[in-house]
Amino acid sequence: MIRIILVDDHALVREGVGRLLEAQRDMRIIGSFGEGRTAIRFAASNEPDVAVIDIAMPHESGIDLARQLREASPDTHLLVLSMHANPEYVHQALLADALGYVVKDSAGSVLVEAVRAVHAGQRFLSDSLDHKALQRHLRSSEREDPLSRLSARERQVLRHTVEGRTIVETAKRLGLSPKSVETYRSR
C-alpha cells in the first residue's frame, strides 16, 4: 500500500486528487494539508511513502516545503503537482529532491502513474512539459544555484523582502524579532 500525503492550498484540488488516488487499490491518503508546517510535522511522525505537493503556495514556497519535507522525512518521495510548466520551476523542484513533476492539466491517469513511479524511486516528468526546453535550461544552469547556500529561514526572509515586506512585517509573520530578521537579511 502506497501511503500518500497531499499538500495544496486549494481544498477542491486536494479533495479531487484524494478521491482519484484513493480509488486505486494500492494507494491510501493518510493526510491532506492546506499549508506546509502541519504537513511537515505530520510527515516527520508518520513517514508517508509519497508526498504530492503544490509548488505555488500563497504563504510559503513549495520548493522550501519540499526541502523541509525531505529533512523531516528522508524516506518520503516527493512528487510536485503544479500548474506551472516553466522549466525553471521544474529545475527548482528537482534541486529540492523531487522525483516527479506533474502539470495540473494532465489526465488523472498520469498522476496515478507518477505516484507509482516516484514510489518505486523512478524519475517522472509529465509529457506535457517541454522536455527539450527543460534540457536546455538544465544545461545552461549547471552552475550551483546561489539560493541553495541559504538556509530555509534565510530563504523565507528573502522571499518576504522580495515581496516588499518591511523588517517588522516579516518579523511578525515569521515569529521572529526584528533584529533576527535584520541578521538574516544581511546574510
Contacts with 138 (C-beta within 8 Å, 6 or more apart), sequence order: 87, 91
- Mean pLDDT score, 119-146: 67
pLDDT at 3: 97
**Mean of per-residue pLDDT scores for the chain:** 86
**What percent of the chain has pLDDT above 70?**
88
Which cell numbers hold the place of 6?
Answer: 497531499
pLDDT (mean) for 66-86 = 90
- Residue 84: pLDDT over 90: no
Taking residues 72-80, report their average pLDDT.
94
Say how far apart CA 14 and CA 38 lie, in whole Å.
15
Distance CA 43, CA 46 (A): 5
**More confident site: 13 or 162:** 13
pLDDT at 137: 47
Given this model, what pLDDT does residue 42 score?
96
